[in-house]
Amino acid sequence: MALTQCPECGRENVSDSAEKCPDCGFGIKAYFEKLDYERSLLKAEEESNKSRIEKLDAERQLLLYGIMFLGIALLTFIIVLILPSIKLFLVLGLILGPTGLICLLFSLIFWLIERKKKVK
């Protein structure tokens, strides 16, 4: 129970749980209950929107990582087909940094495959 001002006539020190304003008869309790209900609806809608935005951001991030991985894999395959030299991939891996580890992995796999072909 809080003391407030009547929204209709402006009388001070009217309880927000009073049924009506003593001066003008405005339904104070119903007015504040309606305000609380509308605020709770807005808050629920904001939380729902925030959840949807977070889900979309996560999906976009996953898509971006997938595209980056496929691009690096494709680049590695192309380079392996053009210049199958392990030294080139070691240098490329050092230049690219963390993503270079993927290049190194693919280069080692292809190097082992080429080595096995030469042994046969």
Mean per-residue pLDDT, 70-87: 69
35 part of a folded domain: yes
Residue linked to tokens 């976009």: 60
91 part of a folded domain: no
82 part of a folded domain: no
Interior/surface letters 62-84, b for 16+ CB within 10 angstroms, e for the rest = eeeeeeeeeebeebbeebbeeee
17: its two tokens:
């749980």
* Cβ pair 100, 73 in contact under 8 A: no
pLDDT at 93: 63
- Domain count of the fold of the chain: 1
Q: What is the pLDDT of residues 56-77, one digit of tens each?
A: 888 888 888 888 888 877 776 7
41 part of a folded domain: yes
Stated length of the chain: 120
Q: Domain range for residue 1?
A: 1-60
Q: pTM here? A: 0.43
Mean per-residue pLDDT, 81-110: 67
117 part of a folded domain: no
47 part of a folded domain: yes
pLDDT at 85: 61
* Cβ pair 93, 76 in contact under 8 A: no
pLDDT at 39: 92
23 part of a folded domain: yes
CA dist 68 to 73, 118, 120, Å? 9, 33, 36
20 part of a folded domain: yes
48: its two tokens:
């729902």
